Structure 1
């Protein structure tokens, strides 16, 4: 990495650290407990007011379940494959597999909640800035958002404002798997419905 590339990566590192923490619905105190780094130091790292050193970044990479290269945004070194690894959410009995690697904008994840598990375990209902879209792949999932409860089965989807106190719960007899799209700034899914007919194809497609 050249000097300009290193400088750019360090300038955006604080934002990446904040995004990683928010994606896991973790507080500064949660990450402090797992990393041994004080909440005030974590806050200064996220705001770019503290110098980034290996003795701070290595524990954070371990807590977030990412490599040091992924944490600092190092450029690829010749391997075009995307290596995504599941990570455990602090204080919750669930595994999360990040499906996107970009910084900023909505992020996609695959979640697995074991039988009887809930995202509220040990922490109560969550509330934070953003908007979430959820699609169930397998099992049955209950979503509690504010005063509303909704039960989803495989093939069903919903969305909700994460500023509402919320939690997700596996109410089936087997692990529930679901996809989520989360926008930390409140970005919502944009449904595009204006279809155009391809030249030479009828309304029914090929063969009509």
Structure 2
């Protein structure tokens, strides 16, 4: 085994412990969530048990991390990211261009969104999940049930999408936001 591989393998246990502790989980919490025994998790974190896929995959699912991020694998292949913007149908009345920044199905999604002016009156919608966005440029009008808010560059919004909502440009000019959406009520970490 070469030195780089040995160092990677030796670093997995402490990395797993750090991830668990950073998320405020005990070994018991993690055991319950993954179905792995506390003793197996403890031996894995201390380096006394070799990491195998049947142990790492449940941990990656529970932590909602890609396997390579979980173990700290070195980058491979082309590090360039080729973002593919797409237009959204004006389901809520305002057309937009979405640039996905993550591609983890069923998990917290991050994208840049350019919101175009609404051709008609705003129509509030509801759906499961949680939304958070940061205004990059322009002014955003946010309707939450019977409340109306005006957000400027640097402002953020954080709301449950089960509440009737609509957001779009406050003027006839497009706005840009950084948008995080959790389909299961996932929220960005507090910061």
Q: TM-score range by the shorter chain?
A: 0.5 to 0.7
Residue pairs, 1:181-192, within 5 angstroms: 181-192=180-191
Please tell me whether the aligned partners of residues 140 and 168 of structure 2 are also in contact (alpha carbons under 8 angstroms): yes
The CA distance in 1 between the partners of 2:177 and 2:131, in whole Å, is 12
**How far did 1:106 drift?**
0.8
Runs of 4 or more off by more than 4 Å in structure 1?
none
SS of equivalent residue, structure 2 residue 190: coil
Question: Is the contact made by 1:94 and 1:117 (CA closer than 8 Å) also made in structure 2?
Answer: no
CA distance in 2, matches of 1:131, 1:111: 16
CA contact (8 A) 2:122 2:166 kept: no
CA-CA distance at 1:150 after TM superposition: 1.1
Q: Does 1:111 align with 2:113?
A: yes
- CA distances 1:116-136 after superposition (whole Å, capped 9, x unpaired): 337xx5883221000000100
Secondary structure of 2:149's aligned partner: strand
Give the Cα–Cα distance (whole angstroms) in 2 for the partners of residues 130 and 160 of structure 1: 9
Q: Give the 3-state SS of the residue equivalent to 1:88 in structure 2.
A: strand
Distance in 1 (alpha carbons) for counterparts of 2:122 and 2:118? 13
Relative to the length of structure 1, the TM-score reads 0.49
Root-mean-square deviation over aligned CA pairs? 2.3
Corresponding residue for residue 41 of structure 1: none
| 3-state SS, counterpart of residue 186 of structure 1 | coil
> In the TM superposition, what are the counterparts of 1:124-163 in structure 2 within 5 Å?
124-163=123-162
Provide the rounded CA distance (Å) in 2 between the counterparts of 1:132 and 1:144.
13
Q: For 1:190 and 1:169, locate their aligned partners in 2 and report how far apart those are by CA, in whole Å.
A: 25
The structure whose Rg is larger is 2
Q: Is residue 136–residue 154 contact of structure 1 (8 Å, CA) maintained in 2?
A: yes
Q: Secondary structure at the match of 1:134?
A: strand
Number of aligned positions between the proteins:
113
| SS of alignment partner, residue 173 of structure 2 | coil
**Counterparts of 1:134 and 1:78 in 2: how far apart (Å)?**
31
Counterparts of 2:121 and 2:153, CA distance in 1: 27
Q: Provide structure 1 residue ranges, at least 5 long, that are not aligned to the other structure.
A: 1-76, 193-208
After TM superposition, the score normalised by the length of structure 2 is: 0.53
